[in-house]
């Protein structure tokens, strides 16, 4: 007999957003997804639901409704205090079986990238990873667009025959809608039918806090360097500028490959997506892959010796010259201005 699990039946409805949370609060990508999926739900005349798996919902459902959700499914159990691959996958799949959503959207965080594929495999559907553009047809078919072929093209992927349609979406891709306290919605409590045993035992939890360096994801100013910075020691010029501005330091993949900066600070398709007020691209030529991670910055400043560097095409301000000579002058000017 053919395996019909996951095949489209026509009974599926509603768009779901998975609510990842940290210390009891939704992470920001959840609000970004609610804002964008609100538009999609309206376009295809479906409801937008948020799915919260937690040990204590508190006032989170009301916050989700204020940010665009029509429904909030809450699965509450002491076992869900911390993210668990097996427990969360089991709970989410139970709810999919119970309510049959049309599509599921998950933030492409570390946990989201772990959870999404497991759910998709369990319910026998496909998943489009690391999406940067979303659209929907009136019949509810979601158009998932992501960089492909090494970032040289943008591929739009459809899941026509299986449900739910699923995808992970890169953080910082969409704008969160402003909270509207007047919005109303429904909270549906789901009681878990079956628990599963974790295959991995957590011996100890320890929060790692970086000292002195701001995370590039949340920095209002990002000073990034590429291969044109020539050496790891020269990145001190970027740290000086970032310190004066109150920002963070990033780098291109080329800079990471050269050992100039660590991978957690890589900006681009295979690194972080950032949307600061000002993005400084210093000695970065501007590959498609790098632009994918910073092109939505409010203002882009490019410093490069090559006047034909592709980064100038998307920059509001450009300086043709040696970043190693220009950065100390720029930092000194900004410092003097702030002190005055």
Q: Is 72 annotated as a binding residue?
A: no
- Each as own residue / partner, the long-range contacts of residues 192-195 (CB below 8 Å, 24 or more positions apart, any chain) are 192/75, 192/77, 192/90, 192/91, 192/94, 193/94, 194/90, 194/94, 195/77, 195/79, 195/87, 195/90
Q: Is 183 annotated as a binding residue?
A: no
* Radius of gyration of the chain from its Cα atoms, rounded to whole angstroms: 22
What 3-state class would DSSP assign to 284? Answer: coil
CA distance 54 to 91: 10
**Burial degree of 94 (CB within 10 A; 0-12, 13-18, 19+):** middle
Please give the span between the terminal C-alpha atoms of the chain, in angstroms, as a whole number.
78
Q: Is 225 annotated as a binding residue?
A: no
Max CA-CA distance within the chain? 78
User: How do strand 103-107 and strand 153-157 relate by DSSP bridges?
Assistant: unpaired
Q: Is 165 annotated as a binding residue?
A: no
Q: Is 227 annotated as a binding residue?
A: yes
Main-chain phi, psi angles of 290, to 5 degrees: -70, -45
Q: Indicate the helix (H) or strand (E) that contains 182.
A: none
Handedness of CA 51, 53, 57, 60 (dihedral sign): negative
Note the residue count of the chain. Answer: 340
Q: How far is CA 149 from the centre of its chain?
A: 20
Q: Is 123 annotated as a binding residue?
A: no
Q: Is 102 annotated as a binding residue?
A: no
Residues 6+ apart with CB under 8 A from 31: 67, 176, 177
Whether residue 278 contacts residue 297, with contact meaning beta carbons closer than 8 Å, is answered with yes
Q: Is 263 annotated as a binding residue?
A: no
Q: Is 182 annotated as a binding residue?
A: no
Q: Is 253 annotated as a binding residue?
A: yes
Main-chain phi, psi angles of 150, to 5 degrees: 70, 20
Q: Is 189 annotated as a binding residue?
A: no
CA distance 109 to 172: 11
CA distance 26 to 20: 6
Whether residue 104 contacts residue 20, with contact meaning beta carbons closer than 8 Å, is answered with no
Q: Is 208 annotated as a binding residue?
A: no
Q: Is 340 annotated as a binding residue?
A: no
Binding residues for FAD: 227, 252-253, 266-270, 283-290, 304
Binding residues: 227, 252-253, 266-270, 283-290, 304
């Amino acid at each position: 007999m053919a395996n019909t699990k996951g095949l489209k039946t026509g009974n599926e409805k509603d768009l779901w957003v998975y609510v990842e949370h940290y210390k009891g609060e939704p992470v920001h990508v959840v609000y970004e997804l609610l804002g964008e999926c609100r538009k999609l739900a309206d376009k295809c005349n479906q409801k937008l639901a948020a799915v919260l798996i937690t040990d204590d919902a508190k006032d989170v459902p009301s916050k989700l409704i204020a940010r665009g959700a029509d429904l909030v499914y809450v699965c509450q159990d002491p076992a869900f205090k911390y993210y668990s691959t097996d427990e969360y996958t089991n709970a989410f799949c139970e709810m999919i079986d119970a309510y049959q959503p049309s599509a599921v959207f998950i933030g492409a965080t570390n946990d989201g990238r772990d959870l999404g594929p497991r759910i998709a495999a369990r319910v026998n559907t496909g998943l489009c990873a690391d999406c940067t553009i979303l659209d929907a047809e009136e019949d509810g078919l979601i158009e998932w667009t992501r960089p492909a072929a090494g970032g040289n093209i943008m591929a739009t992927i459809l899941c026509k025959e299986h449900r739910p349609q699923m995808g992970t979406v890169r953080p910082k891709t969409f704008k969160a809608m402003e909270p509207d306290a007047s919005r109303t919605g429904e909270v549906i409590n789901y009681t878990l039918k079956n628990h599963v045993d974790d295959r991995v035992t957590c011996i100890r939890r320890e929060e790692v806090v970086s000292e002195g360096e701001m995370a590039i994801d949340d920095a209002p100013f990002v000073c990034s360097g590429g291969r044109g910075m020539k050496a790891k020691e020269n990145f001190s010029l970027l740290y000086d500028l970032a310190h004066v501005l109150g920002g963070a330091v990033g780098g291109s993949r080329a800079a990471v490959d050269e050992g100039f900066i660590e991978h957690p600070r890589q900006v681009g398709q295979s690194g972080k997506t950032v949307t600061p007020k000002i993005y400084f691209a210093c000695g970065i030529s501007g590959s498609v892959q790098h632009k994918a991670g910073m092109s939505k910055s409010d203002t882009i400043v490019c410093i490069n010796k090559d006047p034909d560097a592709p980064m100038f095409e998307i920059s509001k301000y450009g300086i043709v010259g040696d970043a190693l000579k220009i950065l100390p002058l720029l930092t000194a000017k900004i410092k003097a201005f702030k002190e005055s």
